[in-house]
Structure 1
Amino acid sequence: MPEAANPSLRICRADYGDSAHAHALVSLLDAYAQDTAGGGQPLADEVKADLALELAARPQAFSVLAFDGQQAIGLVNCFEGFSTFACRPLVNVHDVVVLASHRGRRVGEQMLALVEQIARERGACKLTLEVLQGNRSAARLYERAGFAAYQLDPAMGSAQFLQKWLMPL
């Protein structure tokens, strides 16, 4: 649904020092963590207590929030990285959250549009993200927003996202 169709919808860059924004960030990320797409487990209490402060301490981090009136309904967390091939910054979209009550209303698209604007302001050459194969609704959102599988040469196939934990959660 276009932004004009819901005048109470507000998309903004998060201010980690604002207590309402910090609370929204933590509650939305916790809701995502408890969803099957986010692992099905709540955030640890120490994560909830420290997240906004830790993000604020990292100049490469930024977040976008969506509000319907006063209710926080969406979140995107991003981190600036660096593309050695382009010799320019890139922005990794790390978390995308839209509450179930507001899915299908193009909130995610509007948040990603602001992420793209901020990335362009930072001089980023691209946006990156990962999505679980089973999260088809998120994959459709990313495709609508212009994301595609990463590959350099089709003969080498698409890139895979891998991880190696260095400490337990």
Structure 2
Amino acid sequence: MNRQPASAITVRRADYTDPLHQAALVMLLDAYASDPAGGGEPLSAFARAHLVPELAARPQAYSVLAFDGEAPVGLVNCIEGFSTFACRPLVNVHDVAVLASHRGHAIAEQMLALAEIIARERGAVKMTLEVLSGNAPAIKLYQRIGYAGYQLDPAMGTAQFFQKLLPPAPGSE
């Protein structure tokens, strides 16, 4: 796999007020959601219509976009949280998406590097992310750039990621 960046790739922080960035963010997240690694289902009409305004309303959220010339090809969404043990912010990398046509060109690595710069500017103590165990290329990338499973005490084992789906609050959809 070629790890050299494509020559026309630019990576920048998304501007939630820029109509081009808004369209890119929705298109790229929809492509990711439709991919088997993203669950294989496109975004709902509700998510497509409300995603950018909802991100923009949250000062703890930021996104990074990659473009091949003018064409959007990659997205990273980040959400700031808080480490109670360190008493400092942390940043969760919530989505990493590169269009299938542009994988293998270090685009995700470039986007994650900018996401890390922004996290450091925010004073974050760490970055976290989740990845499906069957996504070997992503796991290899994350390990290569310094991400690893974690444990507090070896006797207690490594951390696991769980979820519990909640029904929408009345009147929210």
- After TM superposition, the score normalised by the length of structure 1 is 0.95
How many Å apart are 1:154 and its aligned residue? 1.5
Partner of 1:106: 106
What is the distance in 1 between the residues matched to 2:96 and 2:51? 16
Deviations 1:95-137 (A, max 9, x none): 0001111111100110000010000000000000010000111
Residue 51 of structure 1: CA displacement?
Answer: 0.5
Q: Which amino acid aligns with 1:17?
A: T
Contact kept, 8 Å, 1:11 with 1:67, in 2: the verdict is yes
Q: CA deviation at 1:46?
A: 1.2
Q: State how 1:28-43 maps to structure 2 within 5 Å.
A: 28-43=28-43
Alignment partners' CA distance in 2, 1:58 and 1:167: 21
Aligned equivalents of 1:14 and 1:141: distance in 2?
A: 23
Can you give the 5+ residue segments of structure 2 that lack an aligned partner in the other structure? none
CA RMSD of superposed structures (Å): 1.3
- Tell me the amino acid that sits aligned with residue 24 of structure 1: A
Segments ≥4 residues shifted beyond 6 Å: none
The share of aligned pairs that are identical, in percent, is: 67
Secondary structure of the equivalent of 1:143?
A: helix
- For 1:144 and 1:113, locate their aligned partners in 2 and report how far apart those are by CA, in whole Å: 12
Distance apart, 1:2 and its partner CA: 4.3
Equivalent residues in 2 for 1:46-65 (5 A)? Answer: 46-65=46-65
Whether 1:72 aligns to 2:72 is yes
